[in-house]
Amino acid sequence: MKHKVGIVGCGGIAHQKHLPALSNAAERVEIVACCDIIVERAQEVAENFGAPGCKVFEDYRELLKEGDIEIVYVLTPNVAHCPITVAAFEAGKHVLCEKPMAANVEDAQRMMDAWKKSGKLFTIGYQNRYRPDSQTLKRLCEEGELGQIYYAQAHALRRRGVPTWGVFTDKAQQGGGPLIDIGTHSLDLTLWFMDNYEPAAVTGVTFEKLGHSLRPEVQGNPMGTWNPDTFEVEDAAFAFVTMKDGSLITIDASWIINSTEERCAASYLCGTIAGAELTGVGGSNDKKLYLNKIMGGKQVKIEADTEAGGVDLFPGRSVQAADVECKVWLDAIEGKGELVVKPEQAFTVTKILDAVYKSAQTGKQIVFE
Ligand SMILES: NC(=O)c1ccc[n+]([C@@H]2O[C@H](COP(=O)([O-])OP(=O)(O)OC[C@H]3O[C@@H](n4cnc5c(N)ncnc54)[C@H](O)[C@@H]3O)[C@@H](O)[C@H]2O)c1
């Protein structure tokens, strides 16, 4: 029997990631219902990716009444993650929700409470964890090759990279701009490498210097022009996060900044034995992993060949992070493996990002209990 999936939100990430991954896993899973408030989008997905007889809905509450649906994918703008996920758990479904978990920590807490009551599985779409370079670095961290990681940088810097589809510049829909959108990936990776989910305090600063003011002819945005009159979120955010064990993480995130560097879903780690630089996605140094260590009494910087030979989850170059995400998720549902992205971990990411925004608003450090 195939797992029966309901898709809520049939836009960009559905088409870029989940629909191809679900199609590639067609022997294990089928899409039996689709929902979008723009119902033509749900119809298109039902026609092109749905099982025969795939149902179409405009309201997710109707989709959740379908008793045969076992798994719900929540692929809507951030603010809708909470009500849909909570209702899906109440309806007895497993939930894969896109990143970030929620638009704010209060919503994330509601989702965690509903998940715990449900006894179902819950994961968040942090697919960068399944990249070969990330998997290799995670293994090195687990094997103690870096020693204790006491200083890290989570990078999500785009020089120009404002998403111009959907509602990404709408604060009420998304909860924020580049920090919550792409900073979330970098912070998720960094906490995971450190295996440290105990933040003590956060100081954050956000800038709104360019998004509101740059007219289309001077934007230079590879993703097209945005409307400065409706740009409601930060252009860039920076944070200083101290952890309960005394270690430090800095975060940078931007969609628009006059920097010469581009570093997305990237992380730098400094440990007591060695250091690592995960260059992340985009730019000329795409998905490289460098290690700093002492060899033969000298300081060396080595580039790891993360593709050759593969690692556990990655037998070869052709494997996509999205396919591995899907496989890990279905394996966990079938009791054949553990989830890689655990809800508690994704919750901590949202808790820290929420504190960065609160600190930026108040000008004060946010201290966790
Ligand atoms: N994992 C990644 O790297 C990645 C990349 C891009 C986006 N995302 C995340 O995916 C989510 C969606 O982003 P997107 O780029 O697909 O946006 P999008 O605007 O392209 O698609 C969202 C879709 O959800 C629909 N929708 C909105 N509210 C709804 C509701 N209440 N019920 C049903 N449908 C609803 C919209 O009509 C739209 O079709 C966001 O949370 C975003 O952060 C993740």
Determine the pLDDT at residue 317: 52
Angle subtended by helix axes 132-142 and 184-194, to nearest 10:
30
Q: Compute the distance from residue 276 Cα to the ligand 1 centre, in Å.
A: 33
Cα torsion through 257, 262, 266, 269, rounded to 10: -90
For residues 94 and 88, give the distance between their C-alpha atoms in angstroms, rounded to a whole number.
8
Determine the pLDDT at residue 312: 46
Determine the pLDDT at residue 262: 87
Continuous segment of H or E residues that includes residue 347: helix 343-362
Q: Please say if the pLDDT value at position 310 is more than 60.
A: no
Average pLDDT over residues 176-204: 98
Average pLDDT over residues 102-108: 98
Q: Compute the distance from residue 7 Cα to the ligand 1 centre, in Å.
A: 11
Q: Please say if the pLDDT value at position 60 is more than 70.
A: yes
CB 180 within 8 A of CB 174: yes
In the beta sheet, which residues pair with residue 199? 243
Strand ranges (DSSP E) for the chain?
3-8, 29-35, 55-57, 71-74, 94-97, 122-124, 149-157, 199-207, 236-243, 248-254, 263-271, 275-278, 289-295, 298-304, 366-367
Continuous segment of H or E residues that includes residue 111: helix 105-118
Percent of the chain with pLDDT over 70: 97
Q: Please say if the pLDDT value at position 314 is more than 50.
A: no
Q: Compute the distance from residue 96 Cα to the ligand 1 centre, in Å.
A: 13
Determine the pLDDT at residue 318: 56
In the three-class reduction of DSSP (H, G, I as helix; E, B as strand; rest coil), residue 81 is classed as: helix
One DSSP character per residue, 180-234 reads IIIIHHHHHHHHHHHT---EEEEEEEEE-SSTTT--GGGT--TT----GGG--S-
Q: Compute the distance from residue 12 Cα to the ligand 1 centre, in Å.
A: 6
Q: Rounded mean pLDDT of the chain?
A: 95
Higher pLDDT, 282 or 278: 278
Please report which confidence band the pLDDT of residue 16 belongs to, taking 50, 70 and 90 as the band edges. very high
In the beta sheet, which residues pair with residue 236? 207, 254
- Of 149, 140, 148, 132, which Cα lies nearest the Cα of 310? 132
Cis? peptide before 315, omega within 30° of 0: no
Determine which residue's CA is closest to atom 31 belonging to ligand 1. 80
Q: Please say if the pLDDT value at position 108 is more than 60.
A: yes
Which tens digits make up the pLDDT trace of 27-56?
999 999 999 999 999 999 999 999 999 999
**186's tokens:** 């970098």
Cβ neighbourhood burial of 145 (10 Å; 0-12, 13-18, 19+): middle
Determine the pLDDT at residue 109: 98
Determine which residue's CA is closest to atom 27 belonging to ligand 1. 76
Taking the model in full, what pTM does it have? 0.96
- Per-residue exposure over 81-107, b if at least 16 CB sit within 10 Å of its own CB, e if not: bbbbbbbbbebebbbbbbbbbbbbbeb
Please report which confidence band the pLDDT of residue 161 belongs to, taking 50, 70 and 90 as the band edges. very high
Determine which residue's CA is closest to atom 5 belonging to ligand 1. 13
Phi, psi of 143 (to 5 degrees): -80, 0
Q: Which residues line ligand 1 (CB under 6 A)?
A: 8-14, 35-38, 41, 60, 75-78, 80, 98-99, 125, 127, 165-167, 181
Determine which residue's CA is closest to atom 15 belonging to ligand 1. 12
CB 249 within 8 A of CB 204: no
Q: Compute the distance from residue 295 Cα to the ligand 1 centre, in Å.
A: 47
Average pLDDT over residues 235-260: 97
Q: Compute the distance from residue 54 Cα to the ligand 1 centre, in Å.
A: 20
Please report which confidence band the pLDDT of residue 198 belongs to, taking 50, 70 and 90 as the band edges. very high
Average pLDDT over residues 2-21: 97
Q: How large is the greatest C-alpha to C-alpha distance in the chain, in angstroms?
A: 67
